[in-house]
Amino acid sequence: MDLKSLIRDIPDFPKPGIMFRDITTLLSNPQGLSYAIDSLAEKCSAMSADYIVGMESRGFIFGTPLAYKMGLGFIPVRKPGKLPSAVHFAEYELEYGVDRLEMHRDAMASGSRVLVVDDLIATGGTAAATAKLLQQAGCELVGFAFVIELQALGGRQKLPDVPIVTLVEY
């Protein structure tokens, strides 16, 4: 299946000069969504993860059904102030400032094997911050999985040396 044909290009969003890759058209296509989840599960099965971690918010969209498909638990990584219990946190740089991600301290046991999932890797900041959260938790990062990779932005160079699975490259 050609997943790229199910991803809508929106020029000049959210600002001029940006080509936004809109996954809502992929999500609304039952065959495309099933194919994306099945493909990620197939490509990631050898990583032998215990959990899938997905970043707010589109990482939830792909991470949760992937966890279900693979028979794994799902752990959400959230923006600040969204989790009710004690958290690990990691800050990362944005174009104009700093942001922060959080994960419950008791989300999984130290030594757990974790696969990080998101819809897209661009500059790699969010994924790299999530890897730091897992390090704080004493977990083993076994890989990353993304539906889309924007190769020109070099995000994978910011990530630890583990397998990286992508389904569509631009």
**Helix (H), strand (E), coil (C) string for 87-144:** EEEEEEEECCEEEEEEEECCCCCCCCEEEEEEEEECCCHHHHHHHHHHHHCCCEEEEE
What's the average model confidence in pLDDT over 144-151? 98
| Residues 105, 81 contacting (CB under 8 angstroms) | no
What pLDDT is attached to residue 91? 93
What's the average model confidence in pLDDT over 112-121? 98
pLDDT exceeds cutoff 80 at 95: no
Return the amino acid letter for 84: P
When mean pLDDT is compared across 17-26, 95-104, 143-152, the lowest value belongs to 95-104
- Tell me the pTM: 0.96
| Residues 139, 88 contacting (CB under 8 angstroms) | no
pLDDT interval class at 93 (50, 70, 90): confident
What pLDDT is attached to residue 83? 98
- Catalytic residues, by residue number, are 58, 95
What pLDDT is attached to residue 7? 98
What pLDDT is attached to residue 59? 97
pLDDT exceeds cutoff 90 at 16: yes
| Residues 136, 117 contacting (CB under 8 angstroms) | no
Which helix (H) or strand (E) segment is 36 a member of? helix 30-44
Mean pLDDT of the chain: 97
pLDDT exceeds cutoff 80 at 131: yes
Percent of residues, the chain, with pLDDT higher than 70: 99
Tens digits of per-residue pLDDT, 22-80?
A: 999 999 999 999 999 999 999 999 999 999 999 999 999 999 999 999 999 999 999 99
